[in-house]
Amino acid sequence: MTAKKKETKKETTEVVLSPEDRAAARRKQIQARLSAFKLNPEGVNVGHDLDDSDKVYIPTGIVEIDSLMGPYGGIKEGTVAEFAGENSSGKSYTALKMAAQAQQMGLRVAVMNVEYSYSDERAQAIGVDTRNADTFETYENLGAAENWGKWIWAAADSGEYGLIIVDSITAMIPMANHDKDLSDADKLGAHAKFCSRFVSKLTEICGRTGTIVILINQLRYSTEKRGMQQEFVLKSTGGEAIGYFSSMRLWFTKMKGASAEIIGDGGERIGGRSKCLLKKTRQSAPDTTAEFPIYFGKFEGNPVKDFLHRALNHPALKEKGAVSCLRKVYKYIDPTTGEIFGQTKDEYEFVKLLMDSPAPSVLTRGDTSTTGFQYICGRIKLSDIQIKAVAEAIKEGKKSEEESVSEDDVLKNIDSSLLDDEFYGGPEPEIPDFEE
């Protein structure tokens, strides 16, 4: 008998790839396909490429508005946003406040002064460093709307600017109407056609370079047929294209009456109040409203109060219960174990407590926070300059507290004979009436 050969089975071991390696392999495969079609191979996002936390967000610098913009409290890079509203409602004020924030992040800002309303003194009072040639510049006298559009396209495409403010797109006059006499009739729809072509391509450019463009616009009432009746509808100028292609729309309304006035210590009027409606957004819930102050002169906000406002209104921190304020008592709690690290009614003392307390026991991947303050700053996306401002405010507050004289120290320096019950605790002495 012939010996039967034993068949040996080859054991094959499957290689298990990590999610990062699978995403890298898939990305490489799709990039090869895009290159075969002569398309941009970097146009694919897979895996952690879609994580928005790695993106740059520029806050407006107004806490009330930033709290509406989702967990990151700002406008994401590559966004075309519309700031629309009536005159003196805070559109340019908010845009310049955002310019100051962008400068603090080391980004270059360009202001397209189309309607010649830019005030250098006003911009400096708001906080913009207008003398810094590395981070700020303005443009004007470029002519018709087409000239402005070409330059804004080129500026956004260069990738040199983090923020471009167009003030305003309403004042852009197309060539079809730019050189006409007063007696000549305007070409109907010329401005709307220009805005449609301009904003549609601008959206693509900003998405590629990461530039944020703010289009300041005006709101007007127009008639619209609904059913059998003509109704007045509030719309922004430039047709429907701006609302369609912009991924964020903020509508501003000026508040009126005594409640809208901000009075200074001397009784003078130092500011007013406006409302901001988050008309359209992809970062949070739309149709939410915030009321915010507008100061006429230079005003330095309180970084400690801004920090606490953002922390208490951050969705993730509110859901986990890491930071809370109930009956004016601030608490810092470990979301995993429920351990209360501390609680106090004083705002400055609470922030100091966060700086001295450890970070939560369980952190997300990539989070290297060692203190509660670092953990919260990472969640609300505070910049290094903003973190430094909070730390300096805490330091100055503590220093002034040490230098101030307490009430007990004052009473120690008063003669004890003046502190008897007959003088303080007894009834008030009767003052006799003197007859003339």
The model's pLDDT over 324-373, given as tens digits with 9 standing for 90+, comes to 888 888 888 888 788 888 888 888 898 998 888 888 888 877 788 888 88
Instruction: Classify residue 151 as exposed, middle or buried by CB count within 10 Å of its CB (0-12, 13-18, 19+).
Output: middle
> Residue 134 above 80 pLDDT?
yes
Region 386-397: mean pLDDT is 83
Which residues are CB-contacts of 25 (< 8 A; sequence separation ≥ 6)?
A: 17
Location of structure tokens 């010996």? 3
Given pLDDT bands bounded at 50, 70 and 90, which one contains residue 318? confident
How much is the pLDDT for 429? Answer: 47
Lowest mean pLDDT segment, chosen from 34-38, 87-91, 179-183? 179-183
> Residue 72 above 80 pLDDT?
yes
Look at residues 345, 320, 329, 334 and name the one whose alpha carbon lies nearest to residue 371. Answer: 334
How much is the pLDDT for 267? Answer: 64
CA-to-CA separations, 120 to 126, 127, 164, 336, in angstroms, rounded: 10, 11, 17, 50
Region 253-267: mean pLDDT is 74
Residues in the chain: 436
> Residue 159 above 60 pLDDT?
yes
CA-to-CA separations, 126 to 55, 69, 93, 246, 429, in angstroms, rounded: 26, 21, 8, 26, 55
| CB of 211 closer than 8 Å to CB of 58 | no
> Residue 402 above 70 pLDDT?
no
Given pLDDT bands bounded at 50, 70 and 90, which one contains residue 409? low
> Residue 408 above 60 pLDDT?
no
Determine the Cα–Cα distance for residues 264 and 391; give it in Å rounded to an integer.
Answer: 27
Determine the Cα–Cα distance for residues 23 and 20; give it in Å rounded to an integer.
Answer: 5
Region 259-288: mean pLDDT is 81
Q: What is the largest CA-CA distance in the chain?
A: 151
CATH of domain 52-176+186-297: 3.40.50.300
Determine the Cα–Cα distance for residues 199 and 241; give it in Å rounded to an integer.
Answer: 7
DSSP assignments along 162-181, one per residue: SEEEEETGGG---HHHHT--
Given pLDDT bands bounded at 50, 70 and 90, which one contains residue 43? confident
| CB of 155 closer than 8 Å to CB of 212 | no
Which residues are CB-contacts of 298 (< 8 A; sequence separation ≥ 6)?
A: 124, 125
> Residue 424 above 50 pLDDT?
no
Residue ranges covered by each domain of the chain:
52-176+186-297, 310-400
CB burial readout 73-93, b (16+ within 10 A) else e = bbbbbbbbbbbbbbeebbbbb
How much is the pLDDT for 98? Answer: 96
Location of structure tokens 């729309």? 249
How much is the pLDDT for 417? Answer: 45
| CB of 198 closer than 8 Å to CB of 148 | no
| CB of 307 closer than 8 Å to CB of 382 | yes
How much is the pLDDT for 14? Answer: 64
How much is the pLDDT for 422? Answer: 43
How much is the pLDDT for 275? Answer: 92
Backbone angles phi, psi at 98, to 5 degrees: -70, -35
> Residue 137 above 70 pLDDT?
yes
How much is the pLDDT for 414? Answer: 47
How much is the pLDDT for 13? Answer: 61
Query: Helix (H, G, I), strand (E, B), or coil: what is residue 126?
Result: helix
Q: What is the CA radius of gyration of the chain?
A: 30
Q: Which of 121-130, 181-190, 297-306, 311-320 has the highest mean pLDDT?
A: 121-130
Percent of the chain with pLDDT over 70: 84
Given pLDDT bands bounded at 50, 70 and 90, which one contains residue 155? very high
Determine the Cα–Cα distance for residues 156 and 329; give it in Å rounded to an integer.
Answer: 47
How much is the pLDDT for 138? Answer: 96
The strand pairing partners of 167, in sequence order, are 113, 216
Q: How far is CA 426 from the centre of its chain?
A: 58
CA-to-CA separations, 166 to 111, 116, 139, 409, in angstroms, rounded: 6, 11, 10, 58
Look at residues 308, 247, 254 and name the one whose alpha carbon lies nearest to residue 278. Answer: 247
Which residues are CB-contacts of 415 (< 8 A; sequence separation ≥ 6)?
A: none
Report the chain's mean pLDDT, rounded to a whole number.
82
- Tokens found for residue 365: 């991947």
